């Protein structure tokens, strides 16, 4: 562990997300108060100062770094990065690249944060595009699903890299010694699935990972694998279907149980069903995987508490040396697979 | 409509499903009592007679046709069909092929029913393999999702055929005049998705169908399209995830609301959340699409009521001339698409 007494320097994109800069600054102040971090708020100077003035920051390790412009949800990330070279997300990412910050945190847009991380921090060896993954079903909080939408039409070697990311995540973040790694498919038996699943299965069998075979859609809520690997096309549909069902069932229950439960219990039940199926919203956020640096991206709707948690995740990722560990395991697994199939293009 | 006063002759696979022959015979007797059908129970003569003896069938249009053997869930369908040429599902399907029955109904195995339909009844023009589709989200009961798992690694022309099936289904079964046909993808904007989505989109735009673009995972519960087209790989994962979430949330609520709701309300709530997400189980079943004849397959766990409903679906499919209408529209759409892209391989 890279733990030391030195605070972890975290660049926070003060302008990212629906509730910026208010919620972001509030979350950053709360994180600074907890200790162990030094915060650089990157944003429009006047707006950031106005928000900082709402809090008692006397003596807290929190400062501001000026930027110009924001990249919002829906903008084409690559184009926006070129058009706004001083945008908050780019300035924050540059601080990490230049070694002035140990990690950065942004509440979006996700596309801009990922593009910025890929361009500025660079991709890890053997990775084509950054990936997003995480637990997305509250009923199976220790099942890490990857990819969630950045990568579609994945080659088997990409899916293999997702498996490694999940394996390192489950060991480092959850302390699972031998994470069970599974492929999402349409039947439990080996060989069931599409061509992508079958080809990836061959690589996983040679990977040295604890590959346990296929899981099906209903297994995702059962927690019978720590890591579930899938193409971003299906991962994104799984994530959004879960969120949509959570929202719809929450309001359905609010109607059908109205008058049968106390107002407090009704609210709690509706909230519970919502939150269990929308943990990407309610959690702080996760690291972008496959880039050479720590960039934690959270949900655009994040409140101050979620921002604070995202800063905690960034600090923890730095403390445990997540990126070097991931790169190291990635290299080992690729070497192992390549040894057994020399023709493999990584 | 092919309606006439002649009863619709329906072959019922008395041996199919987890609760056969008891539940199947009970459901068939109930259907016979409702009128409009003449039932042929296909199964082991002794077992079928024993079950029939439990009911008052005096004067009812219900009889028995002997068969030998059953193909159970998990058996490789193609092999089983060769090894058991007198199996109940094959005998029932042959009755339709020979014109002795107008339709058949089976509670599974689904694989055996589909293989039997493909081999005995034959595939519709332009179809490679039979398909399964239906509404699978109780919160969006008029959204027909296809394919649900038989067809993976689909070519764009297959996905086009699914769109036609859904279109005819929504018009004939739900009376929707211009069903909205959408592709399941990872972004609403045209062009968002994987290669399969993009290539299919080009065909759908030329199809003459009311193609409304992409829907995302969370749209599936919103009812904003009558027909959602997807590869069976993702469709199966969507169906099973929904079922799994329904089961898990149902038992979660049973725990968290215990003591806060009356036993009756608690049971009703748990059942409601289960049923809304497991309508494939609770509904009777649907026709196998893409074969030259009516074969309705239901869920293995079907009870008598579900069997009765499946028989109703088979009768209705016959009454509305579903198969000829589907074949006709399929030919029209293919002709339209081919006119605009002469190089297309159907």
pLDDT digits (tens, 9 = 90+) for A3-31: 567 999 999 999 999 999 999 999 999 99
Q: Is the pLDDT of residue B313 over 50?
A: yes
pLDDT digits (tens, 9 = 90+) for B279-312: 877 677 899 999 999 999 998 888 999 999 999 9
In this structure, what token pair is assigned to residue A280? Answer: 């990407």
Domains of chain B as residue ranges with CATH = 1-128+288-322 (3.40.718.10), 131-282 (3.40.718.10)
Distance from CA of B10 to the nearest CA of A (A): 32
Give Dmax (Cα) for chain B.
Answer: 67
**Looking at chain B, which residue has its C-alpha nearest residue A188?**
B74
For chain A, say whether B335 makes contact (Cβ under 8 Å): no
Whether the complex's predicted ipTM surpasses the cut of 0.90: yes
Task: Tell me the mean pLDDT in the region A325-333.
Answer: 92
Using the beta-carbon criterion (under 8 Å), do A153 and B236 form an inter-chain contact?
no
**Contact (Cβ atoms closer than 8 angstroms) between residue B257 and residue B266:** yes
Q: How far apart are CA A183 and CA A197, in angstroms?
A: 7
Number of Cβ pairs closer than 8 Å across A and B? 144
Starting at the earlier edge strand, list the strands of the sheet with B211-215.
B133-135, B144-146, B227-229, B181-184, B211-215
Q: Is the pLDDT of residue B346 over 50?
A: no
Q: What tokens appear for B32 in the block? A: 């016979």
Average predicted confidence (pLDDT) for chain A: 93
- Chain A within 8 Å of B70 (Cβ-Cβ)? no
Inspect the interface and report whether the beta carbons of B186 and A238 lie closer than 8 Å: no
Share of chain B above pLDDT 70, in %: 97
Judged by a CB distance cut-off of 8 A, whether residue B76 touches chain A is no
Chain A residues touching residue B220 (CB < 8 angstroms): 241, 244
Distance from CA of A263 to the nearest CA of B (A): 12
For every residue of A328-340, DSSP letters joined together read: HHHHHHHHHHHHH
Cβ <8 Å between B242 and A240? no
The pLDDT, as a whole number, for residue A136 is 92
Q: Which pLDDT value is given to residue A344?
A: 58
Whether B247 and chain A come into contact, CB under 8 Å, resolves to yes
Which chain B residues are Cβ-neighbours of A149 within 8 angstroms? 186
Query: Residue B343 has what pLDDT?
Result: 63
Q: Answer whether B184 touches A (CB < 8 Å).
A: yes
At A278-297, the pLDDT tens digits run: 887 767 789 999 999 999 99
Q: What angle (nearest 5°) sits at the alpha carbon of residue B233, between those of residues B229 and B235?
A: 45
pLDDT band at A342 (very low <50, low <70, confident <90, very high): low
Contact B125, B331 (CB under 8 A): yes
Distant-in-sequence, close-in-space partners of A80: CB < 8 Å, separation ≥ 6: A71, A87, A112
pTM (2 d.p.):
0.93
| Rounded Cα gap, residues B289 and B277, in angstroms | 23
* Structure-block tokens of residue B62: 């219900």
For A29-66, write each residue's pLDDT tens digit. 999 999 999 999 999 999 999 999 999 999 999 999 99
CA distance B193 to B211: 16
Q: Which pair of tokens denotes residue B234?
A: 């993702």
CA distance A169 to B338: 49
B37-73: pLDDT as tens digits: 999 999 999 999 999 999 999 999 999 999 999 998 7
Q: Decide if A188 touches B, using CB distance below 8 A.
A: no
Task: Give the pLDDT confidence of A216-259 residue by residue, as tens digits.
Answer: 999 999 999 999 999 999 999 999 999 999 999 999 999 999 99
pLDDT tens digits, B183-227? 999 988 887 899 999 999 999 999 999 999 999 999 999 999 999
* Confidence grade of residue B144 (pLDDT, cut at 50, 70, 90): very high
Q: Does position B169 have pLDDT exceeding 90, yes or no?
A: yes
Please name the residue of chain A whose CA is at the shortest distance from the CA of residue B183: A237
Give me the pLDDT at residue A107, please.
94
Interface with chain B: mutation pick from A152, A197, A274, A281, highest number of B CBs within 10 Å: A152
Supply the pLDDT for residue B342: 65
Q: Which two tokens stand for residue B108?
A: 């599974």
- Count of CB atoms within 10 A of residue B325's CB? 14
Chain B CB contacts of A185 under 8 Å are 233
pLDDT for A33 equals 97
Q: What average pLDDT does the structure give for chain B?
A: 93
Backbone φ, ψ for residue A143 (5° rounding)? -115, 115
Tokens of A290: 């496959």
- pLDDT class of B78 with cuts at 50, 70, 90: confident
Kindly tell me if the per-residue pLDDT of B83 is higher than 50. Answer: yes
Cβ separation of B184 and A221 shorter than 8 Å? Answer: no
Question: Would you say residue A346 has pLDDT above 50?
Answer: no
Q: Which of B184, B243, B269 sits opposite A237 (nearest CB)?
A: B184
Non-local CB neighbours of A125 within 8 Å, separated by 6+ positions: A327, A330, A331
**What count of other Cβ atoms lies within 10 Å of the Cβ of residue B209?**
24
Q: How many Å apart are CA A213 and CA B343, to the nearest integer? A: 40
Cα separation, B85 vs B91, in Å, equals 8
Nearest CA in chain A to B214: A237
Q: Tell whether A241 is within 8 A of chain B (Cβ).
A: yes
Which pair of tokens denotes residue A33? 């108060």
pLDDT of residue B344: 58
Buried b (16+ CB within 10 A) or exposed e, B126-165: bbebbbbbbbbbbbbeebbbbbbbbbbebbbbbbbbbbbb
pLDDT in tens, A68-103: 999 987 888 888 889 999 999 999 999 999 999 999
For β-strands A181-184 and A227-229, DSSP reports them as parallel
Distance, CA of B262 to CA of A186 (rounded, Å) = 39
């Amino acid at each position: 562990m890279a733990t030391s007494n030195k605070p972890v320097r975290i660049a926070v994109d003060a302008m990212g997300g629906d509730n910026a800069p208010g919620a972001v600054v509030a979350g950053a102040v709360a994180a600074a108060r907890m200790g162990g971090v030094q915060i650089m708020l990157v944003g429009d100077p006047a707006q950031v100062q106005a928000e900082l003035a709402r809090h008692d920051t006397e003596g807290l390790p929190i400062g501001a770094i000026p930027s110009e412009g924001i990249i919002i949800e829906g903008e084409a990330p690559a184009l926006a990065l070129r058009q706004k070279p001083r945008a908050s997300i780019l300035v924050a990412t540059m601080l990490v690249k230049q070694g002035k910050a140990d990690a950065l945190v942004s509440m979006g847009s996700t596309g801009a944060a990922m593009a910025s991380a890929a361009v500025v921090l660079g991709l890890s060896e053997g990775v084509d595009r950054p990936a997003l993954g995480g637990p997305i079903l509250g009923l199976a909080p220790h099942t890490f699903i990857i990819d969630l939408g950045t990568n579609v039409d994945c080659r088997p070697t990409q899916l293999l890299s997702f498996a490694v990311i999940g394996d390192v995540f489950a060991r480092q973040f959850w302390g699972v010694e031998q994470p069970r790694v599974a492929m999402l498919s349409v039947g439990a038996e080996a060989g069931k699935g599409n061509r992508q699943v079958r080809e990836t299965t061959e690589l996983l069998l040679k990977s040295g990972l604890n590959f346990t075979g296929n899981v099906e859609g209903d297994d995702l809520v059962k927690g019978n694998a720590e890591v579930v690997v899938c193409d971003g096309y299906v991962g994104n549909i799984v994530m959004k279907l879960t969120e949509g069902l959570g929202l719809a069932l929450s309001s359905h229950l609010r109607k059908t149980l109205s008058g049968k439960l106390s107002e407090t219990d009704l609210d709690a039940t509706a909230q519970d069903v919502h939150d269990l199926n929308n943990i990407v919203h309610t959690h702080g956020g996760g690291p972008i995987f496959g880039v050479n640096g720590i960039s934690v991206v959270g949900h655009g709707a994040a409140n101050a508490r979620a921002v604070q948690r995202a800063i905690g995740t960034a600090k923890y990722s730095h403390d445990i040396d997540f990126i070097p560990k991931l790169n190291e395991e990635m290299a080992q697994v690729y070497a192992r697979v390549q040894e057994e199939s020399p023709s493999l293009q990584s």
